[in-house]
Structure 1
Amino acid sequence: MKYALYLLSILLCACNPASKKTVDNSSDQNGEVRLITLAPGHFHAALVQKEALDGVDSTVYVYAPDGPELDSHLKLIQSYNNREEKPTHWNEVVYRGNDFLQKMLQERQTEKSHNVVVLAGNNRDKTDYILQAVSAGFNVLSDKPMAIDKASFEKLEKAFGVAAQNNVMLYDIMTERYDVWSEIQRLLMQNPELFGELVDGTEKEPAVSVSSIHHFYKVVSGKPLIRPVWYYDVEQQGEGIVDVTTHLVDLIHWKCFPEQIVDYKKDIQLLSAKHWATPLSKQQFTMSTGLTEYPDFLGKYVSDSVLNVYSNGSFQYMAKGKLIDLSVIWNFEAPKGAGDIHKSIIRGTKGTISILQGEEQGFVPKLYIERDKKINKTTYRQMLDQAIADLQTEYPGVALKEEGNRWEIVVPVELQSGHEKHFSSVIRKYLGYLNQGNMPEWEIPNMLTKYYLTTTALSMAGDSK
């Protein structure tokens, strides 16, 4: 089914877009997609281009205000072009100016090609850029989050309707689906002999418990990451409860309700939400941004020289009758030997499948399966051996290691890839959808549900200002 069909109801009530001019998005003579990078303020914009991409023109048009964010983006692209192993060959054609959006619309609308606008930057402006781009007939591949509050969610909902009307494709970059542990967890959950069915869950033991710990100071592409100063303004970046939680909600629905529509109007009930701040010293702020003083717009978050960033949040909700609990935490820097940390515990009637990454695991992700105690261990092990044998076709080298009442599903190093690698997987999936002219019917409604949940949770948690 064409993804646009789901949005018919939205189209009937949507306001007229700001621009009704539509671009012919058929392929150009070389059959290539052309990337347009708009206002790159986050390093994720560059990661889209970390690898060469078949069917994508090597010339990329960049439209942005002049400044250090643009310079940092171009330096990252240059580093990919200049590396010794598998260098890329991107040709960046750059427009610098405060009228960058108008210039992009003026210069690129007349091209008869698969123009894809890549967005990764200031989240306060992102939803406006999305709406204007799809209204003008551009496809859009956007970093998360595409909406950071209720007003921008309503604008995003309208953008999906306009995209369907203009026959262009709007998609967000959900890299965590390509994490090998998540892939295998999802596959095992679809084995009724091992997992059974997702339990309803209780407040003490939810059907799904997911958490994620991140860090402001980190190394990206081999160098310390310098964050733009607006990153610490929740009115521009968005609170943690609407940012990383997009990945968590996406994974939960992708795993628990595979290829099913999760409709926020029928299937979702938000139960509770809260948020809290991470305190950063001025020294930590300087390490992260390179600035020695707080800018005026951060003054309202500063107390006794400490910057308080509302980067943490949690909420509980019901999805199709299942109780789900999730949380996100931001610290300044990871413990030695650690990076970002993810935990995912999903309970079935026959087994619980977990991804753990704590100190016990040496801060390395590990995947476990634990049988329900009512099931015979020998019988369960036989079924598990068969499941692992089946997995080895797609995941060669996967093995079992018994640990008391549970088994670790050992994933060989060759199958493991980091966060940066996953960006190429996302864009290749998106390019496949673009070439087909549609995407699975559940993708768009589930994107809307994801952003409804995060922005509604923010409202429930209370005003952070």
Structure 2
Amino acid sequence: MKNYLVFSMAALLVGASCNTKQEKAAEGFTGAPGEVKLITLDPGHFHAALVQKVSYPQVSKDVYVYAPTGFDVDEHLKRIQGFNTRAENPTAWNEIVYTGDDYLEKMLAEKKGNVMIQAGNNGKKTEYIKKTLEAGINVLSDKPMAINSQSFKLLEECFAIAKQKNIMLYDIMTERNEITTMLQRELSTIPAIYGEQLKGSPEEPAIVKESVHHLFKLVDNKPLTRPVWYLDVTQQGEGIVDVTTHLVDLVQWEAFPDQVIDYKKDIELIDANRWTTSISPEEFKQVTGTEAYPDFLKKDVENDTLKVYCNGDIVYKIKGVTAKVSVIWNYTFPKGGGDTHFSVMKGSKADLVIRQGKEQNYQPELFVEAVKGVDLAAYEKDLTASMEKVSAEYPGVALNKVGDGVWQVEIPAKYRVGHEAHFGQVTEHFLDYLKDGKLPDWEVPNMLAKYYTTTSALDMAKAKTK
């Protein structure tokens, strides 16, 4: 009888163990059709919709939207409807919408999905992320996930919660999928082309990235109407913590590929600055569709002109390499142009330069520029041989010599998919990470390093302008 009881208890324990393993397996992601169920929380930025510009086999067509009633959610749903009804490759999203003042509490109580998409008011974003993670829901967030030192500390808590609950928090770094940036990174890892990464100095940084954006712009070939709060830096964040998120990320991703960046040891701030863009009442109306400045913006109005701190630059050292990133916001784009990106990485043999100006028809182009003193004949031979390996990975990519010691990288049109398509590419990477059950080891520490850099730079810049 005792033996029977022992056997029965053992069988129960084994069965319980098997059930536990099966439950854990069921909780994970396998890539099965429709297993990923999206929640969109308070979508105030058009990036929230761009995640759904394409379909994904493993993502359910049912998407749960929780938001306050108003302009932001209405615009979001219009964009999704546009994707569903377009003539070419229409999507088939079914938006299940809840609007009400208790939208956040409702989302947390119902837990209808397992991945929350967040792109909206950045002043609320970090708290949204924290509460969502506490509910055991993965988060795919637009940048920036922190806009000041206080929200950076909260973001550190968020990553600790995600680790404890074995779920993921990831930000949407679209610029890693831009072809000139990908090739700039690739060429910088080839010693025969780039040599060694120069260290640079505050006066001559070894890596420079500059981004120019426009408040009035076109998206899907239609004028973009921005929410009024977008022009309030306490809600959107200043430029130095917004767009520079991408630039700081690219410095890390390109110069130190797959390496962990520890912000406490590897980042040293040198200088940071901030300045405003002026917007007239007429321009304000064109950007937002609103006649008058709301009360929360009046603190930034001087003589009827809105002054927005959307410009900034940061000079810093990362693992001993001096970098400079800067963001500039103009009112609108030049004729035939749009947002632009400039980037240079300086190696001992060549500079790798991305230009996107009028001369390039406002299309990003990558150049290899040999440094002075290099034996050009020998260098060209090495460059040509090395590019054969690059062309094997990126078929069709080639070199065009455009000057003495200067080559333009010729890039086939198939690689130029555009900024909006990059959201789908990032989402596909995230879906792969869900299936793998983990992010690359360097992603979380490097996200923290990135937001430490931007938010600490804001503190430095503010201290200089008091």
Instruction: Settle same-fold status: TM greater than 0.5.
Output: yes
Q: Show the counterpart of 2:433.
A: 433
Q: Distance in 2 between matches of 1:203 and 1:127?
A: 32
AA aligned opposite 2:193: L
Other structure's SS at 2:115 match = strand
Q: Matches of residues 167-178 of structure 1 in structure 2 within 5 Å?
A: 167-178=166-177
Q: Show the counterpart of 1:309.
A: 308
Kindly state the Cα deviation for residue 31 of structure 1 after the two structures are TM-superposed.
5.8
Deviates more, 1:427-436 or 1:405-414: 405-414
Contact 2:34 2:60 in 1 (8 A): no
Deviates more, 1:229-238 or 1:372-381: 372-381
Kindly state the Cα deviation for residue 306 of structure 1 after the two structures are TM-superposed.
0.5
Q: Does 1:85 align with 2:88?
A: yes
Q: Show the counterpart of 1:200.
A: 199
Q: Distance in 2 between matches of 1:27 and 1:186?
A: 31
Q: Show the counterpart of 1:7.
A: none
Deviates more, 1:300-309 or 1:365-374: 365-374
Other structure's SS at 1:203 match = coil
AA aligned opposite 1:37: T
Q: Distance in 2 between matches of 1:328 and 1:380?
A: 34
Other structure's SS at 1:216 match = strand
Q: Show the counterpart of 1:13.
A: none
Sort the Cα spacing of 1:85 and 1:31 in 2 relative to 1 into closer, same or farther, 3 A.
closer
Partner deviation per Cα, 1:12-60 (whole Å, 9 max, x = no partner): xxxxxxxxxx9x8434985610000000000000000000112000100
Other structure's SS at 2:332 match = coil
Q: Distance in 2 between matches of 1:69 and 1:412?
A: 37
Q: Show the counterpart of 2:320.
A: 321
Q: Show the counterpart of 2:247.
A: 248
Q: Does 1:61 align with 2:60?
A: no
Extract structure 1 runs of 4+ deviating beyond 6 A: none
AA aligned opposite 1:313: G
Q: Show the counterpart of 2:227.
A: 228
Partner deviation per Cα, 1:122-145 (whole Å, 9 max, x = no partner): 000000000001111000000000
Q: Show the counterpart of 1:17.
A: none
Partner deviation per Cα, 1:420-460 (whole Å, 9 max, x = no partner): 00000000000100110011110000000000000000000
AA aligned opposite 1:411: I
AA aligned opposite 2:241: V
Kindly state the Cα deviation for residue 348 of structure 1 after the two structures are TM-superposed.
0.5
Q: Show the counterpart of 2:182.
A: 183
Q: Distance in 2 between matches of 1:437 and 1:431?
A: 10
Q: Matches of residues 122-141 of structure 1 in structure 2 within 5 Å?
A: 122-141=121-140
Q: Distance in 2 between matches of 1:53 and 1:31?
A: 9
Gaps of 5+ in 1: 1-21
AA aligned opposite 2:78: K
Candidates 102, 106, 118, aligned match of 2:109: 106
Q: Distance in 1 between matches of 2:228 and 2:92?
A: 30
Q: Show the counterpart of 2:420.
A: 420
Kindly state the Cα deviation for residue 415 of structure 1 after the two structures are TM-superposed.
1.5
Q: Does 1:447 align with 2:447?
A: yes
Deviates more, 1:328-337 or 1:196-205: 196-205
Contact 2:216 2:224 in 1 (8 A): yes
Partner deviation per Cα, 1:95-139 (whole Å, 9 max, x = no partner): 01110010001111xx6x7x1000000000000000001111000
Deviates more, 1:410-419 or 1:304-313: 410-419
Q: Show the counterpart of 1:383.
A: 382
Q: Show the counterpart of 2:48.
A: 45
Q: Distance in 2 between matches of 1:87 and 1:31?
A: 18
Q: Does 1:34 align with 2:37?
A: yes
Under a length normalisation based on structure 2, what TM-score does the superposition of the two structures give? 0.92
Kindly state the Cα deviation for residue 387 of structure 1 after the two structures are TM-superposed.
2.3
Kindly state the Cα deviation for residue 298 of structure 1 after the two structures are TM-superposed.
0.4
Q: Distance in 2 between matches of 1:315 and 1:228?
A: 27
Q: Distance in 2 between matches of 1:93 and 1:379?
A: 63
AA aligned opposite 1:342: H
Partner deviation per Cα, 1:361-382 (whole Å, 9 max, x = no partner): 2322110011123221121111
Which structure has the larger Rg over C-alpha atoms? 2
- Larger helix fraction of residues: 2
Sort the Cα spacing of 1:133 and 1:206 in 2 relative to 1 into closer, same or farther, 3 A.
same
Q: Matches of residues 262-411 of structure 1 in structure 2 within 5 Å?
A: 262-404=261-403, 405-411=405-411
Aligned residues: 439
Gaps of 5+ in 2: 1-23
Partner deviation per Cα, 1:246-291 (whole Å, 9 max, x = no partner): 0000001100000001110000100110100000011110000000
Q: Distance in 2 between matches of 1:223 and 1:456?
A: 36
Under a length normalisation based on structure 1, what TM-score does the superposition of the two structures give? 0.92
Other structure's SS at 2:194 match = coil
Q: Distance in 2 between matches of 1:292 and 1:319?
A: 45
Other structure's SS at 2:264 match = coil
Sort the Cα spacing of 1:31 and 1:85 in 2 relative to 1 into closer, same or farther, 3 A.
closer
Other structure's SS at 2:435 match = helix
Q: Distance in 2 between matches of 1:374 and 1:27?
A: 54
Other structure's SS at 2:354 match = strand
Q: Show the counterpart of 1:162.
A: 161
Contact 2:184 2:366 in 1 (8 A): yes
Other structure's SS at 1:315 match = strand
Partner deviation per Cα, 1:178-202 (whole Å, 9 max, x = no partner): 0000001100000011111110102
Q: Distance in 2 between matches of 1:163 and 1:398?
A: 40
Q: Using the aligned pairs only, state the percent identity.
A: 51
Q: Distance in 1 between matches of 2:247 and 2:454?
A: 10
CA RMSD, Structure 1 to Structure 2 (Å): 1.5
AA aligned opposite 1:452: Y
AA aligned opposite 1:360: E
Q: Distance in 2 between matches of 1:139 and 1:272?
A: 36
Other structure's SS at 1:198 match = coil
Other structure's SS at 2:234 match = helix
